[in-house]
Amino acid sequence: GQQVMQIPQYQHVQEGEDFTTYCNSSTTLSNIQWYKQRPGGHPVFLIQLVKSGEVKKQKRLTFQFGEAKKNSSLHITATQTTDVGTYFCGGPTTSGTYKYIFGTGTRLKVLA
């Protein structure tokens, strides 16, 4: 079945350092979405990428969708303690019932 892997699983950074998480799907994705889950919270939608090669920015966050629509990345510039949480990529499968599947998540800790 379709699988979505994320690396790294965990990342500790000093405040002010950059951070990147990578999302890799075993098959082509219709679109890719990124979510952030704060400790003790629920996943909250950040952004959706649809087009091959698409790049979107939200303040210090930059999202990319690969040319083959099988991978994506999230880059945070100059991390802050408010960036702490787990970042999930996910999206609908391209066949069958189009259910949403999510990556394994990357847990980010920012040390002040």
4-7 vs 85-92, strand pairing mode: unpaired
With CB under 8 A as the contact rule, which of the stretches 19-27, 55-63, 71-79, 89-97 interacts with other proteins? 89-97
Nearest-angstrom CA–CA distance, 16 and 111: 9
DSSP, res 100: E
Binding pattern for the stretch 42-81 against other proteins, x by CB under 8 A and - elsewhere: xxxx--x---------------------------------
The yes or no reply on residue 84 touching other proteins (CB under 8 A) is no
Question: What DSSP string runs through 45-72?
Answer: EEEEE-STT-EEEETTEEEEE-TTSSEE
Binding pattern for the stretch 1-30 against other proteins, x by CB under 8 A and - elsewhere: -----------------------------x
> By the criterion CB under 8 A, which residues form the site for other proteins?
30-31, 33, 35, 41-45, 48, 88, 90, 92, 96-105, 107
